[in-house]
Amino acid sequence: MRRYVVAWFGLLGIAVVNGALREATYARAMEELAAHQLSTLIGSVLIGVAIWFIVRRWPPASSREALAIGLLWLVMTIAFEFFMGLVLASRPLSKVLGAYDVLAGRVWIFFLLWIAVAPLLFYRLGTAKGRNRG
């Protein structure tokens, strides 16, 4: 599992670059909510590609391990987000939790769900592809 913990830091790097790209470009030209939604979509695609590469490079041993990897990344992402928001940015808990308000148009929860299930999805696609070769 250690390699997947290290790989998560690569995913974090992609997320940071995605956020910087948002702030330097399209966030200036659109409303904050729309920029958040677009950034979440772009980040989901970029992180999805990275997860696909990770799963191909270091295939999990089973569906159970693939799911464990996704859940590990989910917990690490949420812990990082709360640490950044509450501790480093000194935001109130209500503001940090606001990122999860789907009824307000916040789509961050879908990104988190994607991180949790993507390793399992790509693992299963890879093993199904392997079965079809034989």
Asked if 71 contacts 116 with a C-beta cutoff of 8 angstroms, the reply is: yes
Asked if 53 contacts 119 with a C-beta cutoff of 8 angstroms, the reply is: no
Q: Is the pLDDT of residue 24 over 60?
A: yes
Percent of the chain with pLDDT over 90: 88
Domain that holds residue 116: 2-133
Q: What is the pTM of this model?
A: 0.90
Length of the chain, in residues: 134
Q: Is the pLDDT of residue 28 over 70?
A: yes
| Site of tokens 């695609």 | 45
Q: Is the pLDDT of residue 130 over 80?
A: no
| Site of tokens 């590990």 | 72
Quote the pLDDT of residue 132. 47
**Per-residue pLDDT tens digits for 50-73:** 999 999 999 999 999 999 999 999
Count of structural domains, the chain = 1
